[in-house]
Structure 1
Amino acid sequence: MKALRLKGIGQLRVAEVPKPLPGPDDLLVRVEACGICGTDRHLLHGEFPSTPPVTLGHEFCGIVEAVGSRVSDIAIGARITGDPNIACGTCPQCTAGRINLCRNLRAIGIHRDGGFAEYVVMPRKQAHDIPLSLAPVHGAFCEPLACCLHGVDMAGIRAGSSVVVLGGGVIGLLVVQLVRLAGATTVILSTRQAAKRRLAEEVGATATVDPSSTDIIEQIAGDTGLVPGGVDVVIECAGVAETVMQSTRLARSGGTVVILGVMPKGETVEIEPFDILFRELRVLGSFINPFVHRRAADLVASGAIEIDKLISRRVTLGEAANVIAHPPAAGEVKVLVIPGRP
């Protein structure tokens, strides 16, 4: 079968590999769709830890084609979405219920072969069934939505909250929708790209701002800004130093900042600890998707999340390497790999 393999830093290409066989507790899944994530770009450039050679792709859904000898609770022909993050279940973090912080965490598409392939093998416990009537490309959104859902849960948004979302990529646009569902009545998205600002307003933002046009702090939290004094919650979704540094300055005193975007490992930013102390800000990191993938899958299946507007294009396995090797095109939100596409 064909698979998109990360051979080493900067080395990504399609290769012929043996079709995998499921172990006793595994599923063999024919991949229908797999999303390209910013993390895939970090992996290619050595900015996120992985174990090459490995097949990338961690946002996938597909059809169960075979099951292991100890699997009896899922039918061949079922459609599933894969939670890629495999916790050991026995380390101190796992036994404390913090499975996303597992000391032995391994992820499909990062540490073991993933969904940029015609087939993927995964543990049964990582699979969540979704309706056969659901478009496969929608199923590929369950994993990024789950990561967003964990961040929104951590933010503690309540009815009437005001929220700023920094970054207009797929994570920011999913977060906009989730915070509205959580009860936020003021939702401001900041991005330089006009197309993404328009899209944010279509999917639920009450206002958008262009950080390149004027000082974003004054524009949002200044005396004559959109929310004088700052917002209840800031969710950083861009994963760049500029927006991370902006995040604490946009929150009101006593507010919450959630860092959801992924900066390259080793990069640092300047912050003012006195400001965090004096205004008693809660600054939180949100990492992957503990115990929320099922909820995300149900949300996708319900139609409560706008997905079609977030799909920029569909590509083949052969085209995917070039997409990952370059920054997203202007206005591009989510590119999906369709392994069975000729």
Structure 2
Amino acid sequence: MRALRLEAIGSIALRDVDKPCPGPEDVLVRIEACGVCGTDRHLLHGEFPSRPPVTLGHEFCGIVEAVGEAVADVAVGDRVTGDPNISCGRCSQCRAGRVNLCSNLRAIGIHRDGGFADYVVMPQSQAFLLPADLKPTHGAFCEPLACCLHGVDLAAIRPGASVVVLGGGVIGLLTVQLVKLAGAATIVLSTRQASRRALAEELGATATIDPSAVDPVEAIAGPAGLVPGGVDVVLECAGVPDTIEQSMRLAKSGGTVVIVGVMPQGEKVAFEPFDILFRELKVLGSFINPFTHRRAADLVASGAIEIDKLISRQVSLEEAAQVISNPAAPGEVKVLVVPNG
């Protein structure tokens, strides 16, 4: 079968490899669609820890083609989404219910072979059923949506709240939709790209700003801004130094900042600890998707989340290496790899 392999830091290539066989508690899934994530680019450049050589791809959906002898809850022919994050269940974090912080966490597409391939094998515990009539391209959004759900859970948004979302990529645009569902009254999205700002307003943002044209802090939280004094919640979804630094200045006193975006490992930003102390800001990190994948799959299946407008293009496995090796095109939101499309 074909598989897109991260062979070493800086080197990816499409290879012919053996088709995997499921173990007793595994399922073999024929990949229908797998999303390209910013993390895939970080992995290529060594900015996120991984274990090459490995097949990339952690946002996938497909059809179960074979099951192990001990598999009971998944059957051949089922459409499933895969939660890529496999916790050990034994360490102190797992026993405390913090499975995303597992000391032995292993992720499909990062530490073991993933979904940029014709097939992937995963434990049955990581497979979540989807409706048979759901578009496969929609199923590939369950994993990023699950990560956004965790961030919104941590934010504890109350009906009527004011919220800023920094970043107009797929994570920011999914988060805008979740924030709207949570009942926020004011939802401001900040992103440089006009097409993404327009899309955010279609999806529920009450206002958008271009940070290349105005100072976001003044435009949003300044005396003449959209929300003078700052907002209840800031969700940082861009993973760049400017937005990390802006996030704390956009929150009102007593407000909450949730960092969802992924910055390259080792990169630093400047902030003022006294400001966090004096204004009693709550600054939280949001890492992956503890116990949210089932909810994400149900939300996708319900149609409550707009997905089609987030799909910029679909590419073949043969084109995937070039997509990952280059920055996202202007205005691009999500590229899906469709092995047999």
The answer to whether the superposition gives a TM-score over 0.5 is yes
Match of 1:19 in 2: 19
Match of 1:340 in 2: 340
Q: Deviations over 1:143-191 (max 9, x none)?
A: 0000000000000100000000000000000000000000101000000
Q: Which runs of 5+ in 1 are unaligned?
A: none
Counterpart check, 1:100 vs 2:105: no
Q: Deviations over 1:221-280 (max 9, x none)?
A: 011100000000000000000000000000000000000000000000000000000000
Match of 1:51 in 2: 51
Q: How far 1:216 sits from its partner (Å)? A: 1.0
Counterpart check, 1:297 vs 2:313: no
Give the letter for the 1:50 counterpart: S
Distance in 2, matches of 1:42 and 1:257, equals 23
Give the letter for the 1:108 counterpart: I
SS at match of 2:103: coil
Map residues 72-83 of structure 1 onto 2, 5 A cutoff.
72-83=72-83
Give the letter for the 2:95 counterpart: T
Map residues 112-123 of structure 1 onto 2, 5 A cutoff.
112-123=112-123
Give the letter for the 2:41 counterpart: R
Map residues 228-243 of structure 1 onto 2, 5 A cutoff.
228-243=228-243
Match of 1:131 in 2: 131
Map residues 98-177 of structure 1 onto 2, 5 A cutoff.
98-177=98-177
Tell me the TM-score normalized by structure 1: 0.99
Distance in 2, matches of 1:193 and 1:184, equals 23
Q: How far 1:220 sits from its partner (Å)? A: 0.2
SS at match of 2:297: helix
Distance in 2, matches of 1:298 and 1:73, equals 17
Counterpart check, 1:8 vs 2:8: yes
Match of 1:66 in 2: 66
Distance in 2, matches of 1:191 and 1:327, equals 16
Match of 2:261 in 1: 261
Q: Deviations over 1:79-102 (max 9, x none)?
A: 000000000000000000000000
Q: Deviations over 1:51-102 (max 9, x none)?
A: 0000000000000000001012221100000000000000000000000000
Distance in 2, matches of 1:217 and 1:249, equals 7
Give the letter for the 1:291 counterpart: F
Match of 2:179 in 1: 179
Tell me the TM-score normalized by structure 2: 1.00
Percent of pairs with identical residues: 75
Distance in 1, matches of 2:182 and 2:305, equals 13
Give the letter for the 1:167 counterpart: G
Distance in 1, matches of 2:248 and 2:72, equals 49
Q: How far 1:306 sits from its partner (Å)? A: 0.3
Q: How far 1:339 sits from its partner (Å)? A: 1.0
Give the letter for the 1:295 counterpart: R
Match of 2:321 in 1: 321
Distance in 1, matches of 2:279 and 2:62, equals 48
Match of 1:40 in 2: 40
Match of 2:192 in 1: 192
Q: Deviations over 1:25-74 (max 9, x none)?
A: 00000000000000000000000000000000000000000000101222
**Ranges of 4+ aligned residues in structure 1 off by more than 4 Å:** none
Q: Deviations over 1:115-169 (max 9, x none)?
A: 0000000000000000010000000000000000000000010000000000000
SS at match of 1:195: helix
Distance in 2, matches of 1:175 and 1:199, equals 13
